[in-house]
Chain A
Amino acid sequence: DIQMTQSPSSLSASVGDRVTITCQASQDITKYLNWYQQKLGKAPKLLIYDASNLETGVPSKFSGSGSGTDFTFTISSLQPEDVATYYCQQYDSLPRTFGPGTKVDVK
């Protein structure tokens, strides 16, 4: 199985701050990476697919980059409604695997 790691595991930032989360795969997954947002008590929501493609209807303050084994997810200007846990997921191979999540909070 491909192992996914994320850092940090949690962060707290101020409204308007730029927030960056990193995700690393244990082997080359080319571009086959998703980013999901999960708010408390809700199902995950797809934000980014193919590492950098913004899902339809998702605000452009969210972005993703990277390829191979190293990926980055960015919120350009953190807002209170962005409080959530963010997960990366690889779909280069089976079984699909998720990172452990990054909990984002607002100071």
Chain B
Amino acid sequence: QVQLQESGPGLVKPSETLSLTCTVSGGSINSYYWTWIRQPPGKGLEWIGQIYYTGSTNYNPSLKSRVTISVDTSKNQFSLKLSSVTAADTAVYYCARGRGANRYWGQGTLVTVSS
């Protein structure tokens, strides 16, 4: 059974860079698309971007200038970096597998932006 687990700091200061890693277990990261999605407290879901295991990426234009998604196939991990964060970036961040339908999701990790 494929499992995904997000990890990273739960608190980030304004203007700094948010960094999260998603570790994939129970299956290979190869041959799939991997996605980051976020959800501000009490709000809906926002698609951040996706990466193919080869490293090809697609980002949401609303975040594109601040987002970098990368993959490390040797570690079966992919990562998210979001720069110049503000309070508006406070959210639960989910990693998921899939290009269209996201069948497997991590449990999510709350990242709070605050000084």
A94–B58 touching, CB < 8 Å: yes
Closest to B47 in A: A96
B60–A46 touching, CB < 8 Å: no
A100–B44 touching, CB < 8 Å: yes
B94–A46 touching, CB < 8 Å: no
- How far is A89 from B58 in the complex, measured between Cα atoms in Å? 17
Main secondary structure of the interface of A (DSSP, over half): loop
Q: Count the B residues whose beta carbon is within 8 Å of the partner chain — how many?
A: 22
- How far is A97 from B62 in the complex, measured between Cα atoms in Å? 12
B105–A34 touching, CB < 8 Å: no
Q: Is B75 an interface residue (CB 8 A)?
A: no
Closest to A55 in B: B103
Across the interface, A49 reaches (CB within 8 A) one of B58, B62, B101, B105, namely B101
Across the interface, B47 reaches (CB within 8 A) one of A32, A43, A97, A101, namely A97
Closest to A45 in B: B105
Find residues 18-76 in chain A having any chain B CB closer than 8 Å to their own CB: 32, 34, 36, 42-46, 49-50, 55
Given contacts A34-B101, A49-B100, is CB(A98)–CB(B46) below 8 Å?
yes
A95–B60 touching, CB < 8 Å: yes
A43–B106 touching, CB < 8 Å: yes
- How far is A98 from B102 in the complex, measured between Cα atoms in Å? 12
Q: Is B45 an interface residue (CB 8 A)?
A: yes
Closest to B104 in A: A46
Given contacts A87-B45, A94-B58, A98-B44, is CB(A46)–CB(B100) below 8 Å?
no
| 12 A–B contacts from the bound complex (CB under 8 Å) | A1-B61, A32-B100, A44-B45, A44-B102, A45-B105, A55-B101, A55-B103, A91-B100, A95-B47, A96-B35, A98-B47, A101-B45
Which residues from chain A sit less than 8 Å from chain B, CB to CB?
1, 32, 34, 36, 42-46, 49-50, 55, 87, 89, 91, 94-101
